[in-house]
Amino acid sequence: MKDDQILNNVRGKAKKWLEGNFDTETKASVKDMLDNNESELIESFYKDLEFGTGGLRGIMGAGTNRMNIYTVGMTTQGLSNHIKKVFANKEKIKVAVGYDNRNNSRLFAETASKIFAANGFRVFLFDALRPTPELSFAIRHFQCQSGVVITASHNPKEYNGYKVYWEDGGQIIQPHDKNIIDEVKSISSINEVLFDGKQEDIEIIGEKIDNIYLERIKSLSLSPEVIERNNDLKIVYTPIHGSGVKLVPMALRNFGFENIYNVPEQDVVDGDFPTVKSPNPEEAAAMEMALQKAVETDADLVMATDPDADRMGAAIKNNNNRFKLINGNQTGTLLIYYLLNKWAENGKLQGKEYIVKTIVTSDLLDCIAEKYNVEYFNVLTGFKYIADIIKKNENKKIFIGGGEESYGFLAGEFVRDKDAVISCALLAETAAWAKDQGKTLNDLLIDIYLEFGFFKERLYNIVRKGKAGAEEIQNMMKKFRNNPPSYINNSQVIEIYDYQKSIKKNIVTKEESSIDLPQSNVLQFILKDGSKISIRPSGTEPKIKFYFGVQDKLDNKSNFETMDQELEIKIEAIIKSLNITQKIYH
């Protein structure tokens, strides 16, 4: 579409907002864009917000491509219409609504709740911000048909979002996601949205459900006697201004830990995230204040959660007694190793247990599962696919744990989304278990590498914002799909997985086979030397993601630092050989 066609299209959409049933402030903002800011007008109206791997997510402001009470309203009405069709025979439909600390989160949560109520639903609305996984738990506890949490996870402060959950407590997957979008698109006017629900149909929930949730988390503890011997383990925790502020420390104390240090400045609930540039525990800068506190207190473990407390970042002490950040693959490795070891030690493995990870998460988890004869599943990126495996195996097999490289992990089946409250409690227990053996978590990680091989991973993002950026990302994917490299870093590409075409191709034998997973815009290149490169556009952010995995055998603990550097150099060489710092892709 040519630029003048795009402008005419967005002007037409924007003028409808001037004429429709929108508030005065919104109309003034739209008029200002029409009169004075053509580029912002295009960004705000050139498309409608759509569901990605995490649901609806976007910059707050006026427009169809922005998060506001009207896009939230139309999405909620579309969701309500879909729910009513699916559960047409249900006497009373129930939904749960939660939210985090972001600006406008409470407003959006109340807006959604009133619309649900106006559609005849019974609504359970949290009294204040709560971790996203507790919303998943509440859906199952109250036997709801659906649920919504207002959050943009770890995105910058300008963003907010809207995650939709189904009756199993997992995020929506096909066909519900597409059907909801169809319902939203069928709404031609804001007047079709039922905004005025009755307050008596909205039940406020809070402390009572917190206590039930925390008790279920406590039931996951596998080594209470170990914690009792090591309850003086020093733990620094920060919620980074978000919704883990109360429940994570409570969960740690419920497990038996006594030395928990907070970061007072970051305990302040604030959607502007005043102490960090980005509230993302994947980024070292977000952990700086917690690391400083850890040095001051000579802590053993540092943990941080993102705004909606579904993802956890951690730092552990290295061999020189200095703190180092560990990534999501390493956290998942430590947790899976601990869980499987203790399940085996406690005689709980009966042959029907399993773990789950995503296709871009370290294959080291598969190796650990194989040692314990535990089945493992690999699914597409997005925790909703892990939840789907749990749902399909319910009452047939037992889910021990699983996660994804992007700092998300879950144990147990009573929650169906990644859960940083659970993750923090279990990682602290793993640290206590290691300490009981005279080891640190770093020692434990090296022991795992000695046994299974040194697996090292890195995520590399290229950010391309706006409409032009989205097109550039599409061109990048097209380039790698239509002209795949034969060699990467002087190692032959021997297998290509194209998840969009659902085809796995062996380059050496020329054999092709189908991939038994839903279609997704993901490419994977497997190299002769064992390296793995995965490429996918983000479903929630304006970026394309490159996942690198390399491995080698570690023969001696003393060689750990050297091999770590060698594998890091290898990843750098792979990045260079792909030439992915190039700005424009045709």
Best CA proximity match to 523, nearest among 330, 376, 381, 329 = 381
Edge-to-edge strands, sheet with 301-305? 259-262, 234-238, 301-305, 312-317, 323-326
Q: What is the pLDDT of residue 174?
A: 87
Is pLDDT above 70 for 52?
no
For residues 249-272, average pLDDT:
98
Query: Strand 312-317 vs strand 301-305: parallel, antiparallel, or unpaired?
Result: antiparallel
Confidence band, pLDDT 50/70/90 cuts, at residue 586: very low
Segment 27-49, tens digit of pLDDT: 999 999 999 999 999 999 998 87
Mean pLDDT of the chain: 95
For residues 67-80, average pLDDT:
94
Q: What is the pLDDT of residue 263?
A: 98
The CA distance from 12 to 289, in Å, is 48
The CA distance from 310 to 410, in Å, is 9
Q: What is the pLDDT of residue 4?
A: 78
Cβ atoms within 10 A of the Cβ of 212, count? 15
pTM for this prediction = 0.94
Segment 541-561, tens digit of pLDDT: 789 999 999 999 999 999 999
Segment 179-216, tens digit of pLDDT: 888 898 898 889 999 999 999 999 999 999 999 999 99
Segment 482-534, tens digit of pLDDT: 999 999 999 999 999 999 999 999 999 999 999 999 999 999 999 999 999 99
Q: Verify whether residue 153 is a known catalytic residue.
A: yes
DSSP state of 172: P
Is pLDDT above 50 for 254?
yes
Percent of the chain topping pLDDT 70: 97
Confidence band, pLDDT 50/70/90 cuts, at residue 54: low
Is pLDDT above 50 for 583?
no
Q: What is the pLDDT of residue 2?
A: 57
At residue 214's C-alpha, the angle toward residues 209 and 216, to 5°, is 100
Give the least confident one: 50-64, 108-122, 384-398. Answer: 50-64
Confidence band, pLDDT 50/70/90 cuts, at residue 315: very high
Q: Which domains does the chain have, with CATH numbers?
A: 47-205 (3.40.120.10), 218-452 (3.40.120.10), 454-578 (3.30.310)
Best CA proximity match to 253, nearest among 298, 221, 281 = 221
Q: What is the pLDDT of residue 585?
A: 36
At residue 216's C-alpha, the angle toward residues 211 and 219, to 5°, is 130
Give the least confident one: 49-53, 72-76, 293-297, 315-319. Answer: 49-53
Instruction: List, in sequence order, every beta strand (DSSP E) within 274-374.
Output: 301-305, 312-317, 323-326, 353-358
Segment 425-474, tens digit of pLDDT: 999 999 999 999 999 999 999 999 999 999 999 999 999 988 888 899 99
Q: Which of 153, 520, 531, 534 is catalytic?
A: 153
For residues 102-128, average pLDDT:
98
